[in-house]
């Protein structure tokens, strides 16, 4: 089901409270508790519990990183196809010069402003995602994100 709420640079980040707050909060508290126990009551049991706590935090962290990496690869493909259709002939050969962070930032630009914005990003060698996103005038929301 599509989200109909407005999206802009100011509110485009996605936070899933059950994942970002509850899950990471519980894992962080557990890690701190287990590390406290390792220091105060050193034993094979507390060391193993501490190791499991570290592994759980790493698991949650890498699960998020892996999902974001796949998302960025899909965005790269989507944006290269979109740019192939929208850019003027003189810019099309330069599509592969755009880095993944640049493409990820450009995805929010409307079709009408994308060619001009891509030209500026390439000409000025702008690499900062935040700076690119702040240059977008006609923000196109993206609600299908990991």
Tell me the CB-side half-sphere exposure of residue 146, using CA atoms within 13 A. 13
pLDDT tens digit sequence for 85-118: 999 999 999 999 999 999 999 999 999 999 999 9
The pair of structure tokens assigned to 107 is 């995805």
pLDDT of the residue at 4? 56
Q: Tell whether the model's pLDDT for residue 51 goes beyond 60.
A: yes
Model-level pTM? Answer: 0.80
User: What letter would DSSP give residue 90?
Assistant: T
How sure is the predictor about 1, in pLDDT bands with cuts at 50, 70 and 90? very low
DSSP per residue, 100-139: HHHHHHHTTB-TTTHHHHHHHHHHHT---HHHHHHH-SSB
Tell me the CB-side half-sphere exposure of residue 92, using CA atoms within 13 A. 9
Q: Tell whether the model's pLDDT for residue 60 goes beyond 80.
A: yes
């Amino acid at each position: 089901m599509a989200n109909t709420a407005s999206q802009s640079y100011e509110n485009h980040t996605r936070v899933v409270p059950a994942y970002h707050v509850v899950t990471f909060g519980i894992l962080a508290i557990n890690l701190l508790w287990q590390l406290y126990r390792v220091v105060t009551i050193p034993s094979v049991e507390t060391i193993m519990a501490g190791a499991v706590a570290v592994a759980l935090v790493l698991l949650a962290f890498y699960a998020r990183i892996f999902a974001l990496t796949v998302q960025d690869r899909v965005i790269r493909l989507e944006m290269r196809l979109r740019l192939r259709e929208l850019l003027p002939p003189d810019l099309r050969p330069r599509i592969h010069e755009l880095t993944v962070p640049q493409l990820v930032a450009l995805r929010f630009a409307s079709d009408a402003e994308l060619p001009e914005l891509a030209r500026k990003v390439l000409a000025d060698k702008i690499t900062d995602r935040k700076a690119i996103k702040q240059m977008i005038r006609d923000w196109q929301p993206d609600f299908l994100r990991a």
